Amino acid sequence: QQQQQQQPSSTTITIYNNHTITLPLQLPNPNTEPSKYCYEIFAWRYTTLWISIFGFIVISQCYEYFNAWGYLGFCGGLALPLMLQPIFYPQASTPSITVNNVNVNGSKVEEKVVVINNPDAKRPFHKRYSTKATLYLLVYSFIGNYWYTHYFYSVLQAKYTMPSHRLNDVPIAMFLATHFYFCTYHVCISNGLLRYVDRMYCENDPKGGGGGGWWAFLGVL
């Protein structure tokens, strides 16, 4: 009886000439996409922070003491670092990775730690990847809240009961909250999932048979 082949969870890529790195399938290539790599690392790190803070607020039930300004300040405070990052911290992160120096025979000679420098740090503000990502999230968050929230109001009969300042009957605090959790959804999870499927199936199956079902499934989602 044949054993089922185990799917890889990482991929080996060449970086900086004869150096190689074993990279998780969901992360960008730091050699060809250093801006995306640094920004997604930043987004993942910030995700752990905002979820921890949010979790504390829920578990401790501090929200019971929030008024409209409290919700606005809390959600705005969590969204603000992401909005200001392209201006004040364009580097986003300075991750260090361990690469393997490989000789012509393909054997590993030595390991070396390389720091990934984000090109955004030297780019004009309007050309930075993080600026474009932040603008996309701001626009998408506004559209989703201003218009699509009423789908839940009408179809699911859902409503917000928290004290709030409102725009088009949607709490303004939710416009801000959507920004940081959309950063997690779209920058971290969605990008990582699409990249994982592409590397796992499509690159190993140029005809597209292996990844076709996944792309159809993700398209429906």
- The candidate with the shortest Cα–Cα distance to 44, out of 217, 144, 191, 213, is 191
Alpha helix positions (H), the chain? 34-60, 68-88, 129-143, 149-155, 172-182, 191-197, 209-220
Candidates 23, 34, 14, 33; CA nearest to 196 is: 23
**Least reliable range by pLDDT among 152-161, 167-176, 203-212:** 203-212
Confidence of residue 3 (pLDDT cuts 50, 70, 90): very low
Q: Which range has the worst mean pLDDT, 4-13, 134-143, 191-200?
A: 4-13
As a whole number, the mean pLDDT across the chain is 83
Virtual torsion, Cα 14, 16, 19, 20, nearest 10 deg: -30
User: Of the spans 5-14, 95-104, 128-137, which averages the highest pLDDT?
Assistant: 128-137
Rounded mean pLDDT, 46-62: 96
- Nearest CA to 147 out of 139, 179, 187, 34 is that of 139
pTM for this entry: 0.81
Residue-wise pLDDT for 71-108, tens only, equals 999 999 999 999 999 999 999 988 877 766 655 455 55
CB atoms within 10 A of CB 59: 8
User: What pLDDT does 221 receive?
Assistant: 55
Give φ, ψ of 160 to 5 degrees.
Answer: -90, 130
What secondary structure letter does DSSP report for 122? Answer: G
**10: confidence class by pLDDT, cuts 50, 70, 90:** low
Question: By the 8 A CB rule, do 47 and 184 touch?
Answer: yes
Kindly state the average pLDDT of the residues 10-17.
52
Inform me whether the pLDDT recorded for 205 exceeds 70: no
Radius of gyration of the chain (CA): 21
**In the chain, what percentage of residues exceed pLDDT 70?**
73
d(CA 196, CA 192): 6
* Residue 24 or 157, more confident: 157
Local confidence band at 63 (pLDDT 50, 70, 90 cut-offs): very high
Confidence of residue 4 (pLDDT cuts 50, 70, 90): very low
Expressed in angstroms, the distance from the first to the final Cα of the chain is: 36
pLDDT tens digit string along 110-128?
666 778 889 999 999 999 9
- Percent of all residues in the chain with a pLDDT value above 90, rounded to a whole number: 58
Cross-strand bridge partners of residue 24: 10
Q: Identify which of 93, 81, 112 has the alpha carbon closest to the alpha carbon of residue 38.
A: 93
